Amino acid sequence: MRASTSATSARPSTGSTVRVSIARSDPASRTEFDVPRIEPMMVLDLLLAIQREQDASLGFRFSCRVGMCGTCTLRMNGRSVLACQTRVTADDDDLRLDPLSGLPVVRDLIVDTTPFFEEWARITPYLVPTTELTEPAVIRPDSSERQVIDPQLDCINCGACYSGCGIADARRDFIGPAALNRALTLIADSRDGARLERLRSVTGDDGAWRCRYIHACTAMCPKGLDPAGAIRKLRRMALEGIPNVDA
Ligand code: SF4
Ligand code: FES
């Protein structure tokens, strides 16, 4: 948790308030706050106002405030959102904030992301350079591999997709949508020397074939990625081979 003064230059609005119900560490102790509106107001502004003016013990996480670090993810009215990027609108009179589901709660809105990052680590989430490369690789922006990689590249490890995935929630050994999405970007990359091995490791029973295409991951992703689509591509590669790679 980080407590600090909101740096927003927003002006107070006309005196109306937002009622916020927030989950606390003790599930029996949800707390309600009435928070004066400012305009514009993000969910993170609202949490900071509560922490500063009403309850300094409220636990939540944030860091970058620009949608890049993924630490501020929580559920607003049941849906996973980035608190720093989600606006409190004029229609939001009552808000319900909860920690991400499917992960152990550390305190209030703070969850333990260890299960998520353990699955992430399983796929060797970094490029393993091919030994043949002696010169910097050139991959044209219009190449077919770029078309596969680019739309799936902006993952910020926020965990929203993993949290929203009913399969990951039910079976802890599922690699999960974020790690499978990352695996696709590496398997499609011709500079990666571990593509075949990586494809085999993510298309077992605990990987791409475990998915039931509920599509909650894609619906939840605050960066607009399509992990369900990535899983579909991994399945196709498992059946038909990686384009331009001898199986
Ligand atoms: Fe978050 Fe989207 Fe990455 Fe999942 S794929 S961790 S929802 S940014
Ligand atoms: Fe970094 Fe919200 S604080 S994504």
How high is the pLDDT of residue 246?
A: 53
Q: Is 178's C-beta closer than 6 angstroms to any atom of ligand 1?
A: yes
- Taking alpha carbons only, the member of 182, 158, 166 closest to residue 215 is 166
- In whole angstroms, what separates CA 135 from the centre of its chain? 35
Among all bound ligands, the one having the nearest atom to the CA of 223 is: 1
Work out whether strand 73-76 and strand 11-22 pair parallel, antiparallel, or are unpaired.
Answer: unpaired
Query: Which ligand 2 atom is nearest residue 158's CA?
Result: 4
Homologous superfamily of domain range 114-240? Alpha-helical ferredoxin (1.10.1060.10)
CA proximity to 110, closest of 55, 182, 47:
47
Taking the C-alpha atoms of residue 195 and residue 187, their distance in angstroms, rounded to an integer, is: 5
The CA 161 to ligand 1 mean position distance, Å, reads 5
Q: Where are the strands (E) in 77-193, listed by range?
A: 79-82, 94-98, 105-107, 110-111
Q: Which CATH architecture has domain 11-111?
A: Roll (3.10)
Tell me the pTM: 0.88
Output the CA 113–ligand 1 centroid distance in Å. Answer: 13
The ligand 1 atom at the shortest distance from the C-alpha of residue 164 is 7
pLDDT of 4 reads: 32
Per-residue pLDDT tens, the chain, 247 aa: give them: 333 333 334 445 556 999 999 999 988 889 999 999 999 999 999 999 999 999 999 999 999 999 999 999 999 999 999 999 999 999 999 999 999 998 999 999 999 999 999 999 999 999 998 877 778 888 888 999 999 999 999 999 999 999 989 877 766 789 999 999 999 999 999 889 999 999 999 999 999 999 988 899 999 999 999 999 999 999 999 999 988 665 4
| CA–CA gap between residue 247 and residue 242 (Å, rounded) | 8
Distances from the Cα of 158 to the Cα of 60, 108, 166, 223, 245, angstroms? 14, 17, 17, 9, 32
Residues whose CB falls within 8 Å of the CB of residue 146, separated by 6 or more in sequence, listed in order: 139, 140
CA distances from 105 to 14, 189, 225 (A): 36, 36, 26
Tokens of 151: 């739309």
Determine the Cα angle at 76 with ends 98 and 45, to 5°: 95
From the CA of 73, which ligand is nearest?
Answer: 2
Burial pattern 50-67, b for ≥16 Cβ within 10 A else e, equals bbeeeeeebbbbbeebeb
Q: Please state the φ and ψ torsions of residue 22, each to the nearest 5 degrees.
A: -120, 135
Q: Residue 171: what pLDDT?
A: 67
* CATH 1.10.1060.10 segments of the chain: 114-240
pLDDT tens profile 185-209: 999 998 899 999 999 999 999 999 9
What is the distance between the alpha carbons of residues 20 and 239, in angstroms, rounded to a whole number?
49
Q: Atom 4 (ligand 2): residue with closest C-alpha? A: 67
Looking at the chain, the domain(s) classified CATH 3.10.20.30 span: 11-111
Q: Is 160 in the pocket of ligand 1 (CB under 6 A)?
A: yes
The atom number, within ligand 2, closest to the CA of 72 reads 2
- Which ligand neighbours the alpha carbon of 160 most closely? 1
